[in-house]
Structures are given as structure tokens and as C-alpha cells.
Amino acid sequence: MGKVVVIDHPLIQHKLTYIRDENTGSKEFRELVEEVSMLMAYEVTRDFPLQETEINTPVGPAKTKVIAGRKVGLVPILRAGLGMVNGMLKLIPAAKVGHVGLYRDPETLKPVEYYCKLPTDLPERDLIVIDPMLATGGSAVAAIGFLKERGAKSIKLVCLIAAPEGISAVQSAHPDVDIFAGAVDSHLNDHGYIVPGLGDAGDRLFGTK
Ligand SMILES: O=P(O)(O)OC[C@H]1O[C@H](OP(=O)(O)OP(=O)(O)O)[C@H](O)[C@@H]1O
Ligand SMILES: O=c1cc[nH]c(=O)[nH]1
Ligand SMILES: [Mg+2]
């Protein structure tokens, strides 16, 4: 079973408060999502292996370490996942970015696919699927399924806020996938929104309704 890591760093918890606040407008919301995503990238990459290297500092030779040739792919689930891309790229600038377009049908709550463009060397990459919200889990389960159909072998899922229902859905469909979240909230309401959550992440990022 994949692990669930709640990243409870004070900076993330502090910023999540303002992300959740209904009085936070789109500009500040976008900035905060980017900042939290950057902080989450730090934790998500914690298991990247290092290799020794030798360089010269101005004082003399030094045996030191670099990340061992990892190829990373970020895969935002459109639209809301786009809000997390730049923050993650700040810490993992060489990552390639694939896009999976999904929206959740408001009646059935099932994900509907409308776009998919992924790096061709998917099987060689450590993939990080990003989406601020893990609600029923339908979108994440489908996006991870697309990646696996195309040969992906190493996948992590990163979200700002997860519901217990979404975590269970991902764990049962994709037990090899670790989930990183800033918070795990109480439950879903009758419309499939996370309670207390933050509302509709895509609408808040892009100022739509
Ligand atoms: O876990 P689920 O129940 O599938 O819900 C989560 C999905 O819902 C939201 O996207 P939405 O459908 O609102 O599309 P958007 O990003 O274009 O707003 C969110 O960004 C996730 O992708
Ligand atoms: O709470 C939720 C659930 C799904 N999608 C969102 O943007 N927010
Ligand atoms: Mg939305």
C-alpha cells in the first residue's frame, strides 16, 4: 500500500489557512498555491538518491554530492493542477511537464477526459501528478491510469487538500502510488466538495465560476 504523507510543516499549514479563506482573491491565491507547491516539492523529493562527485571550491578539492541523474516529470491535472507547476519547477527546474485534461462532471462526479500530452520517455521518469484537490479521487485515479497505460512505473501524487474518500480510492486503484497532502480534511459534501476544503480550486485560481 502506498504511504500517505501529510506535510505538516508550519509554513505550509500557515499558508493553507490563507488559501482556504474565502476572502483571499485570485492573485493572492495563485501566489500562495505556488509557494506551498514549492515547499511540498522539497518533501516529495526527499527520497531522491545522491551520488558522490568531486569539485574544487575556492579553498580546495571537495568530495560532495549531487542528485543521481533523476529524470522527473510533472503531470498537472488541468485546470487546477496548473497552479502548482511553477512552484514545483522552481525546485525541480529540469523536470518535463505533461498535461492531463480532466473535468469532473457535476452530476455524476465522474472525470471526463479532454486532453493528454505527455513526455515520450514516460517509463524512465519519476512522475509527480499534481492537483490541489483530491476529493472522490476519480480524477487522480483516471490520470494515474493514463500514465500507467503509457508505461509509467514511478508515480507520486501531490495535492494540497485530500478527503479520506479520495485517499481510499487512490490506494485501492493504485496501491503503488504514494500520496503527499498538505492536509486531510473531514469529508465530502453532497456535491462532492471537500469539507471544509477551499471551494473550487480551478475557479479560485482562474477567477471563473
Ligand atoms: O477527486 P475528484 O472528485 O475527481 O475531484 C477533484 C478534481 O476536481 C477538480 O477539478 P475540476 O473538475 O473542478 O476541474 P478544473 O480543474 O478545470 O476546475 C480538482 O482540481 C480535481 O481535478
Ligand atoms: O472541494 C473540491 C472538490 C473537487 N474540486 C475542487 O476544486 N474542490
Ligand atoms: Mg474546478
Domains of the chain are: 4-47+71-206 (3.40.50.2020)
The Å distance, Cα 159 to ligand 3 centre, comes to 14
Q: What percent of the chain has pLDDT over 70?
A: 100
Render pLDDT for 9-61 as a digit per residue (tens, 0 to 9): 999 999 999 999 999 999 999 999 999 999 999 999 999 999 999 999 999 99
| 162 within ligand 2 shell (Cβ under 6 A) | no
Atom of ligand 2 nearest to the CA of 193: 1
pTM here is 0.96
ipTM: 0.97
Indicate which residue's Cα is closest to atom 8 of ligand 2.
200
Supply the pLDDT for residue 45. 96
Please give the annotated binding residues for uracil, written as ranges: 194, 199-201
Which residues fall inside 5 Å of ion ligand 3, going by CB? 200, 202
What whole-number distance in Å separates Cα of residue 178 and Cα of residue 156? 5
Supply the pLDDT for residue 209. 87
| 206 within ligand 1 shell (Cβ under 6 A) | no
Mean pLDDT for the chain overall? 97
Q: For this structure, is 108 an active site residue? A: yes
| 75 within ligand 2 shell (Cβ under 6 A) | no
Supply the pLDDT for residue 69. 81
Q: What percent of the chain has pLDDT over 90?
A: 97
